C-alpha cells in the first residue's frame, strides 16, 4: 500500500530549490540514473520543450505554453498552485530542495527573480515561491509523486465547458474582468483572439439554443463547428454565410464535421471552377462530405496540380521566416500589436494548411 505523505506549505527561496535533474518530461535529453545535466541546461530544455509542443490541433494545446504560463504568472503576481518539492538528504551545490512537480513554474520564478535583482534589490517580488514541502528524503516518495504528477494527468476541460465559463466571467459584473484581463491571465495577448472566438462561439450557441426557429436541433456537441465558424467569419460573411445562415446549416445537419467549416467558402461560392453552383446544390441536398468530394474532383479537372509548386512555396516561406531569427527583428515585432496579430493570423493559416495535408494523407 502506498504511504500517505505528510507535507507542509511555505514560501521558499528559489535559490534553494534545484530543478529536477531526472524530470520525466525531459526523457529524450537525460539518462535516468546517469550524470545530471547542469541547471542552466535543464532550464533551456524545459523552455524548448514547452515551445515546441506539437501533434495536437484541439483548443487545449497552446502554441507556446511556457510563454503563456509566464505571462499568466506575471499578470496574477503569483502561481495559483504551489509547486511540490522534496528536502534533500544533504545540500547539493547550495540547494536544499529538489522540485518534483512545477519545474516550469520554478524556472519562470528564477528568471523573474534574476531580472528584478538587476533592477531593484530592495523590492524582490519573485525571490520566494509557494511550495508544498515533502520533508521525507526517501527516494520512494520522489517516485511516488513523479508517477502521479506525470503519468496520471488531470483531464482537460472540454472546449464547450471552457467557452461557457469564459462567457460567464466575461459577462458577469462581479468578476470585473474584461477581454484584456482574461487574456493576460490565460497566457498573454496572443491568446486574446482565441478567447474572443470561444466567447463569441458560445454566444452563437446560446442564440441557437434559445431560438424557436431551429426546433430541437441544438446540441452542445456542435460547439467545435461553431468555433470553426467564428475563426473563419472574415471569409465566410462576404460570400453570404452569416450567423443566421450558418445556424440554418447546423439545424438541417448539413455540416458533417467541424473541419468542413474551413471549406464552406469554396463550397458556397466558387466561380472559378463551379460557376453554375453545382457544389453548393450538392451541399444543400446531401451535406458537406458529398460536396467536398465534388469540389476535389472539380479542382483536379480544372487545375494542373503540381506538388512541386507547393513545395517551392513552402521553402520560400520558411526562408522568409528564418530571417526573423535576428534579435532586432523579433524585438520589433514584439513591440507592435499589429505585427503580432499578423503573425498570429499567419500561424492560423499555416495550421489550416497542416490540417489539410493531414486530410490528404488519409486518402492514401
The predicted pLDDT at position 241 comes to 95
Task: Please tell me whether residues 93 and 36 are part of one structural domain.
Answer: yes
Task: Please tell me whether residues 139 and 172 are part of one structural domain.
Answer: no
Q: Is the torsion defined by CA of 54, 56, 57, 60 positive or negative?
A: negative
- On whether residue 33 sits in a domain, the answer given is yes
Alpha-helical regions (H) of the chain: 39-51, 65-76, 103-117, 139-150, 159-171, 179-185, 192-210, 223-231, 233-236, 243-251, 264-268, 278-286, 288-302, 307-322, 327-334, 337-362
Q: Is the torsion defined by CA of 141, 147, 150, 155 positive or negative?
A: negative
Q: How many domains does the chain have?
A: 3
CA distance 110 to 40: 11
List the Cα angle 53/234/335 in 5-degree steps. 55
Task: Please tell me whether residues 39 and 90 are part of one structural domain.
Answer: yes
Q: Which of 111, 133, 150 is the last residue of a domain?
A: 150
The model's pLDDT over 308-347, given as tens digits with 9 standing for 90+, comes to 677 788 888 877 777 666 655 555 555 555 565 666 677 7
Q: Tell me, rounded to whole angstroms, the distance of Cα 275 from its chain centroid.
A: 39
pTM above 0.75, yes or no: no
CA distance 241 to 268: 8
Q: Which of 131, 150, 169 is the last residue of a domain?
A: 150
- On whether residue 141 sits in a domain, the answer given is yes
Task: Please tell me whether residues 88 and 175 are part of one structural domain.
Answer: no
- On whether residue 260 sits in a domain, the answer given is no
Range of the domain at 323: 307-362
Task: Please tell me whether residues 143 and 87 are part of one structural domain.
Answer: yes
Task: Please tell me whether residues 140 and 174 are part of one structural domain.
Answer: no
Most confident region among 18-22, 45-49, 203-207, 296-300 by mean pLDDT: 203-207
Model confidence at 256, pLDDT cuts 50, 70, 90, reads very high
- On whether residue 317 sits in a domain, the answer given is yes
Model confidence at 283, pLDDT cuts 50, 70, 90, reads very high
Task: Please tell me whether residues 146 and 163 are part of one structural domain.
Answer: no
- On whether residue 78 sits in a domain, the answer given is yes
Task: Please tell me whether residues 54 and 139 are part of one structural domain.
Answer: yes
Q: What would the grid cell of residue 84 be? A: 511540490
Task: Please tell me whether residues 194 and 317 are part of one structural domain.
Answer: no
Task: Please tell me whether residues 108 and 199 are part of one structural domain.
Answer: no
pLDDT at 257 over 60: yes
Closest CA to 266 of 244, 292, 232, 290: 292
- On whether residue 265 sits in a domain, the answer given is no
Taking residues 71-98, report their average pLDDT.
90
CA distance 50 to 341: 21
Q: Which of 211, 238, 253 is the last residue of a domain?
A: 253
Task: Please tell me whether residues 79 and 123 are part of one structural domain.
Answer: yes
The model's pLDDT over 117-143, given as tens digits with 9 standing for 90+, comes to 877 777 789 999 999 999 888 877 777
- On whether residue 282 sits in a domain, the answer given is no
Task: Please tell me whether residues 145 and 163 are part of one structural domain.
Answer: no
Percent of residues, the chain, with pLDDT higher than 70: 77
Amino acid at each position: 500500500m502506498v504511504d500517505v505523505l505528510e507535507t507542509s506549505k511555505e514560501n521558499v527561496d528559489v535559490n534553494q530549490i534545484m530543478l529536477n535533474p531526472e524530470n520525466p518530461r525531459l526523457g529524450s535529453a537525460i539518462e535516468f540514473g546517469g550524470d545530471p545535466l547542469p541547471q542552466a541546461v535543464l532550464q533551456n530544455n524545459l523552455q524548448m520543450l514547452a515551445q515546441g509542443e506539437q501533434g495536437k490541433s484541439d483548443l487545449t494545446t497552446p502554441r507556446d505554453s511556457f510563454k503563456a504560463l509566464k505571462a499568466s504568472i506575471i499578470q496574477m503576481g503569483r502561481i495559483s498552485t504551489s509547486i511540490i518539492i522534496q528536502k534533500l538528504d544533504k545540500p547539493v551545490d547550495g540547494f536544499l530542495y529538489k522540485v518534483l512537480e512545477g519545474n516550469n513554474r520554478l524556472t519562470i520564478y528564477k528568471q523573474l527573480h534574476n531580472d528584478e535583482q538587476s533592477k531593484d534589490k530592495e523590492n524582490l517580488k519573485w525571490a520566494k515561491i509557494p511550495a508544498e514541502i515533502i520533508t521525507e528524503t526517501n527516494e520512494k516518495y520522489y517516485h511516488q509523486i513523479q508517477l502521479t504528477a506525470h503519468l496520471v494527468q488531470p483531464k482537460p476541460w472540454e472546449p464547450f465547458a471552457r467557452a461557457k465559463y469564459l462567457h460567464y466571467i466575461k459577462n458577469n459584473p462581479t468578476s470585473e474582468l474584461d477581454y484584456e484581463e482574461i487574456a493576460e491571465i490565460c497566457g498573454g495577448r496572443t491568446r486574446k483572439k482565441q478567447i474572443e472566438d470561444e466567447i463569441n462561439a458560445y454566444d452563437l450557441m446560446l442564440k441557437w439554443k434559445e431560438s424557436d426557429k431551429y426546433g430541437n436541433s441544438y446540441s452542445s456537441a456542435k460547439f467545435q463547428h461553431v468555433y470553426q465558424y467564428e475563426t473563419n467569419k472574415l471569409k465566410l460573411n462576404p460570400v453570404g454565410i452569416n450567423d443566421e445562415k450558418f445556424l440554418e446549416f447546423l439545424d438541417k445537419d448539413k455540416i458533417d464535421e467541424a473541419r468542413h467549416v474551413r471549406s464552406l467558402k469554396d463550397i458556397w461560392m466558387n466561380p472559378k471552377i463551379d460557376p453554375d453552383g453545382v457544389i453548393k446544390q450538392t451541399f444543400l441536398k446531401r451535406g458537406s462530405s458529398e460536396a467536398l468530394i465534388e469540389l476535389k474532383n472539380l479542382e483536379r479537372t480544372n487545375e494542373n496540380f503540381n506538388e512541386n509548386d507547393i513545395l517551392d512555396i513552402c521553402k520560400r516561406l520558411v526562408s522568409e521566416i528564418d530571417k526573423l531569427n535576428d534579435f532586432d527583428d523579433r524585438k520589433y515585432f514584439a513591440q507592435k500589436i499589429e505585427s503580432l496579430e499578423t503573425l498570429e493570423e499567419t500561424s492560423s493559416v499555416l495550421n489550416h494548411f497542416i490540417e489539410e495535408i493531414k486530410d490528404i494523407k488519409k486518402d492514401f
